[in-house]
Copies of this chain bind each other. A is one copy, B any other.
Amino acid sequence: MAQASPLVPVIILNAPQLAENIGAVARVMANFGLADLRLVNPRDGWPQERAWALASGAEWPLNAARVYDTVADAISDLQVVYATTARPRELTLPVVTPRTGTAQLAEACARGERCGLLFGGERAGLETSDIALCQAVITIPIDPRFRSLNLGQAVAINAYEWRMTVADAAPPNFRPGPGAATGEAMLGLYEHLERELETAGFFHPPEKTPNMVQNLRSALGKARFTDQEVRTLRGVITALSRGRGKVLEKIARKKEE
């Protein structure tokens, strides 16, 4: 039946606990024309029969579901990922409604970019470090008096909003120019920068490192760099750090003279 397509967002579930909810997610994905499901560390392993039982026949997202160890792995080939979370965060990422968020993803998909929607597990939600890998936060306008939204419902509302963007289908706006770099390319950039900063003694005090890393990642992630820009920035990091080497060589030569 439906096939994964680069023009339709991927659904990524981080640490889902209940197979029933994974099945409900598959069902609602099928309802709204989504097919590519990724699972990061499902608590009870994978596959699980209960998921198929609860999918009411929407088996293809489950059959094709892939399992990953980390969110970073799961989004490594994606160019635009929005995290869905009800919780306020210390990050400076834009916060949007499902309507605005899916409209933005629809534009990205229309440009040919590979997109994803990231959801946290039932109890723990998303780690800030995982949200920091995303380009925006989608927050469903829940009544603050009762915030406990079921995972399947959260996916349903976003999938419905996605479908509304497609069903209303304005002609796709093929904007020329390169798309955003993949999650993998961005992670490469981040890790390169963090290695050099570590060497330079930037992360001080050490216990603040995770926080500093996360703030840096979410700050840079907002730019949605192209592949070329990622290469340029890695050149910048290399230049700033290799600068050390060059100056050292000069000094060394001088001392020898």
User: Do the beta carbons of B201 and A243 come within 8 Å of each other?
Assistant: yes
Stretch from A64-72, A87-95, A110-118 that touches the partner: A87-95
Q: Give chain A's interface residues, CB within 8 Å of chain B.
A: 1-2, 24, 27-28, 30-33, 56-58, 86-88, 92, 95-100, 139-150, 152-153, 156-157, 160, 163-164, 167, 169-175, 177-178, 193, 196-197, 199-202, 212, 215-216, 219-226, 228-229, 232-233, 235-237, 239-244, 246-248, 251-252, 255
In the complex, what's the smallest C-beta–C-beta distance from A30 to chain B, in angstroms? Answer: 4
Give A228 to B215 CA distance when docked, in angstroms.
10
Identify the closest chain B residue to A215 (Cβ). B232
Give A68 to B137 CA distance when docked, in angstroms.
42
Give A35 to B128 CA distance when docked, in angstroms.
33
Q: Which of B56, B97, B232 contacts A148 (CB 8 A)?
A: B56
In the complex, what's the smallest C-beta–C-beta distance from A111 to chain B, in angstroms? Answer: 15
The 9 closest A-B pairs by CB, nearest first: A200-B243, A223-B223, A139-B171, A202-B239, A30-B146, A240-B240, A141-B167, A244-B244, A219-B229
User: Do the beta carbons of B175 and A236 come within 8 Å of each other?
Assistant: no
Identify the closest chain B residue to A157 (Cβ). B160
Residues of chain B lying within 8 A (CB to CB) of residue A31: 142-143, 146-149, 153
Identify the closest chain B residue to A152 (Cβ). B153
Give A221 to B223 CA distance when docked, in angstroms.
7
Q: Which of B178, B221, B241, B248 contacts A92 (CB 8 A)?
A: B178
Give A212 to B229 CA distance when docked, in angstroms.
11
In the complex, what's the smallest C-beta–C-beta distance from A112 to chain B, in angstroms? Answer: 19
- Residue from A177, A215, A251 having most chain B Cβ neighbours under 10 A: A177
In the complex, what's the smallest C-beta–C-beta distance from A194 to chain B, in angstroms? Answer: 10
Q: Which of B1, B27, B240 contacts A196 (CB 8 A)?
A: B240
Residues of chain B lying within 8 A (CB to CB) of residue A88: 173, 175
In the complex, what's the smallest C-beta–C-beta distance from A191 to chain B, in angstroms? Answer: 14
Give A20 to B82 CA distance when docked, in angstroms.
30
